[in-house]
Amino acid sequence: MTESSPALRAEGIVKIFGAREVLGGIDLSVGRGEVVCIVGPSGSGKSTLLRCLNWLSPPSAGAVWVGDTLLGQVRRPDGGLGPMPKRTLRQQRSRIGMVFQHFNLWPHMTALENVMEGPRAVHGLKAAAARDLAMSTLTRVGLAERVTHYPGQLSGGQQQRVAIARALAMQPELLLFDEPTSALDPELVGEVLDVMADLALRHTTMIVVTHELGFAAAAADRIVMMDAGLIVEAGPPRQILAAPTNVRTRDFVSRYLSRNAALTALTAAP
Amino acid sequence: MIDLTPITDHWSDLVAGFQMTLQLSALAWGLACLTGIGLTALRAGGPASVQLIVAAYVDVMRGMPSLVLILACFYLLPETGLYLGSVASGLAALSLYYGAYMSEAMRGALAVIPAGQWEAATSTGLRPATILWRVILPQAIGPMIPSLTGLTIGLFKETALLSVISVPEFVFQAKEAISDSYAPFQIYAFIALVYWGTSAAIAYGAGMMERRFNRYRAAQPALRA
């Protein structure tokens, strides 16, 4: 792996469900330590793209590289691409952490067991070592006091932090977040975004699908605006949020800002 | 005072019959479970044509009285050159029949596990066998137990049907005892009591197992911090 290669590179990602083209050819490159936020209206293909990036939902066409290695596919002797052996794919997936909108914690395992499972089963850690790792990772997301709780005994914000710890414990090269705060009560969003902002500060490579433009403005190195299965604009937050050139980006951002402006006006009123 | 001598006079035959019933039940249950697991696996992961065949098989079994299948196995299989004897053909019939029902119960419990559970495990890099064993089954077994318990008790009781093909099980021995003693009331009352007691014991054991597997759910509404 060369130092110069990006953490993740996607080329020409197309995804077709039945007769519907959900992704129309996406190119995306994410550098090491970079935080990229993907924004856009519902149905624009953001989550589908994320699921293509770790081969959870293999794209209909296109290729993804993690570091220097092709993901999910192998180069055949004739130059074409063929499916990758499942074992290699599993090994590669373990290098990419994923955090889901609905947490997807395993409900029959405690917080600690949720975080221990991957390191034990995939990295072959002994129980004691996995326990130590899980403890320190849960402590890092502020849940040292909740390790023996089952997911059902935790608030949504706490569950999502366990899910982040579960992904972190695999020591992945990059983290994918699929609308991590969309399923949370408003008062619980902050604690999850705080953990994510902390990861961003430590230069964790992250791709975050989100509606939280405030988080994107503060934490992202780059914002990618998607619409109708395509990237319509990408650039630093200052450019995308303050001076968007694309009309759909402008619409999207102004809707968000006017809603916030209304809130600000309301709260400022005597 | 009820005269119990018809029972005590035939005690050893009745005990032997009940032992036969227990053995048949245990064996048929094991085979039905294996059949059910096999059918469930084929239906979940087999090619489309196999899935269709399995679905058709389950449908046929569900639309047939078990007695018909027992008689078919006993009388028709020898015509094809496969002579199994009464015990083996009875076992085969019950296993095939209850296997189909069990696969339905298993499929139902697996179907309600959200796709996100698989996805989280897959994206962690777990192997499919590990996902099934560590993530899916521990969640599916609890909800599966009530319907599997009903089927287990049904299977246990329906071994009585094998008396019609002269398997020397509990009911068969009871009928022998009745024709010898002319005391149907005592003997039928006795075997009914034994069937009920055994079914109740199965239900009790299953209830304990269900609580064991659903412990994490019971823990849930408690602390919400």
DSSP B80: G
pLDDT of residue A6: 93
CATH number, domain of A208, equals: 3.40.50.300
A interface mutation test: which of B123, B132, B216 has the most A CBs within 10 A? B123
A160-180 pLDDT per residue, tens: 999 999 999 999 999 999 999
Range with the poorest average pLDDT among A7-16, A65-74, A251-260, B15-24: A251-260
B72-82 pLDDT per residue, tens: 999 998 888 88
Tell me how many domains chain A contains: 2
Average pLDDT, chain A: 93
A2-53 pLDDT per residue, tens: 557 899 999 999 999 999 999 999 999 999 999 999 999 999 999 999 999 9
The full DSSP string for B119-181 is HHHHHHT--HHHIIIIIIHHHHHHHHHHHHHHHHHHHHHHGGGGGGGT--SHHHHHHHHHHHH
**Same domain membership, residue A182 and residue A73:** yes
Residue located via tokens 């994410």: A30
More confident residue, B223 or B69: B69
A126: tokens are 């002994």
Q: Which domain holds residue A16?
A: 1-95+175-265
| Chain A residues with beta carbon closer than 8 angstroms to that of B216 | 107-109, 150, 152
**Same domain membership, residue A221 and residue A166:** no
pLDDT of residue B218: 75
From B116, B125, B216, residue closest to A122, measured CB to CB: B125
Question: What contacts A264, CB < 8 A, 6 or more positions away?
Answer: none
Residue A92 has pLDDT above 60, yes or no: yes
In a domain, B101, yes or no: yes
Q: Is the dihedral of CA A210, A216, A222, A225 positive or negative?
A: positive
From A56, A167, A170, residue closest to B122, measured CB to CB: A56
- For residue B148, give how far its alpha carbon lies from the nearest alpha carbon of chain A (Å): 21
From A94, A153, A155, residue closest to B124, measured CB to CB: A94
Contact yes or no for A52/A10 (Cβ under 8 A): yes
CA distance A45 to A231: 10
A93: tokens are 């997936």
| Chain A residues with beta carbon closer than 8 angstroms to that of B223 | 149, 153
pLDDT band at A270 (very low <50, low <70, confident <90, very high): low
**Same domain membership, residue A157 and residue A80:** no
Contact yes or no for A184/A159 (Cβ under 8 A): no
Closest chain B CA to residue A154: B224
Domain termination site, one of A153, A171, A189? A171
- For residue B206, give how far its alpha carbon lies from the nearest alpha carbon of chain A (Å): 19
In a domain, B8, yes or no: no
Residue A1 has pLDDT above 70, yes or no: no
**Same domain membership, residue A112 and residue A81:** no
In a domain, B90, yes or no: yes
pLDDT of residue A258: 81
Query: Could you tell me how many CB contacts below 8 A there are between chain A and chain B?
Result: 85
In a domain, B167, yes or no: yes
**Same domain membership, residue A114 and residue A187:** no
Mode of pairing for the β-strands spanning A8-17 and A96-99: unpaired
A121: tokens are 């089963």
**Same domain membership, residue A244 and residue A184:** yes
CATH number, domain of B50, equals: 1.10.3720.10
User: What is the rounded average pLDDT of the residues B98-114?
Assistant: 95
Domain termination site, one of A147, A171, A195? A171
Residue B5 has pLDDT above 90, yes or no: no
**Same domain membership, residue A84 and residue A7:** yes
- For residue A12, give how far its alpha carbon lies from the nearest alpha carbon of chain B (Å): 22
**Same domain membership, residue A155 and residue A234:** no
Nearest to A199 by CA among A178, A170, A224, A220: A220
In a domain, A141, yes or no: yes
CA distance B175 to B182: 10
From A98, A150, A154, residue closest to B216, measured CB to CB: A150
Environment class of residue A23 by beta-carbon count within 10 Å: exposed (0-12), middle (13-18) or buried (19+)?
Answer: buried
**Same domain membership, residue A56 and residue A165:** no
Per DSSP, helices labelled H in B46-124 are 48-62, 66-71, 85-111, 115-124
CA distance B16 to B19: 5
Three-state secondary structure along chain A? Answer: CCCCCCCEEEEEEEEEECCEEEEEEEEEEECCCCEEEEECCCCCCHHHHHHHHCCCCCCCEEEEEECCEECCEEECCCCCEEECCHHHHHHHHCCEEEECCCCCCCCCCCHHHHHHHHHHHCCCCCHHHHHHHHHHHHHHCCCHHHCCCCHHHCCHHHHHHHHHHHHHCCCCCEEEEECCCCCCCHHHHHHHHHHHHHHHHCCCCEEEECCCHHHHHHHCCEEEEEECCEEEEEECHHHHHHCCCCHHHHHHHHHHHHHHHHHHHHHHCC
From A90, A105, A106, residue closest to B127, measured CB to CB: A90
CA distance A166 to A97: 8
Residue A236 has pLDDT above 80, yes or no: yes
Neighbours of A206 (CB within 10 A): 24
Range with the poorest average pLDDT among A247-251, B2-6, B103-107, B171-175: B2-6
| Chain B residues with beta carbon closer than 8 angstroms to that of A54 | 123
In a domain, A270, yes or no: no
Percentage of chain A modeled with pLDDT above 70: 98
**Same domain membership, residue A198 and residue A86:** yes
Residue B225 has pLDDT above 60, yes or no: no
Tell me how many domains chain B contains: 1
Which residue(s) pair with A102 in the sheet? none
pLDDT of residue A259: 78
Inter-chain CB proximity A98 and B123 less than 8 Å: yes
A124-151 pLDDT per residue, tens: 999 999 999 999 999 999 999 999 999 9
Residue B221 has pLDDT above 70, yes or no: no
- For residue A257, give how far its alpha carbon lies from the nearest alpha carbon of chain B (Å): 33
User: What is the rounded average pLDDT of the residues A200-222?
Assistant: 94
**Same domain membership, residue A191 and residue A159:** no
Percentage of chain B modeled with pLDDT above 70: 97
B119-176 pLDDT per residue, tens: 999 999 999 999 999 999 999 999 999 999 999 999 999 999 999 999 999 999 999 9
- For residue A195, give how far its alpha carbon lies from the nearest alpha carbon of chain B (Å): 18
Q: Which domain holds residue B96?
A: 20-224
In a domain, B170, yes or no: yes
DSSP B112: T
Domain termination site, one of A139, A171, A203? A171
**Same domain membership, residue A91 and residue A1:** yes
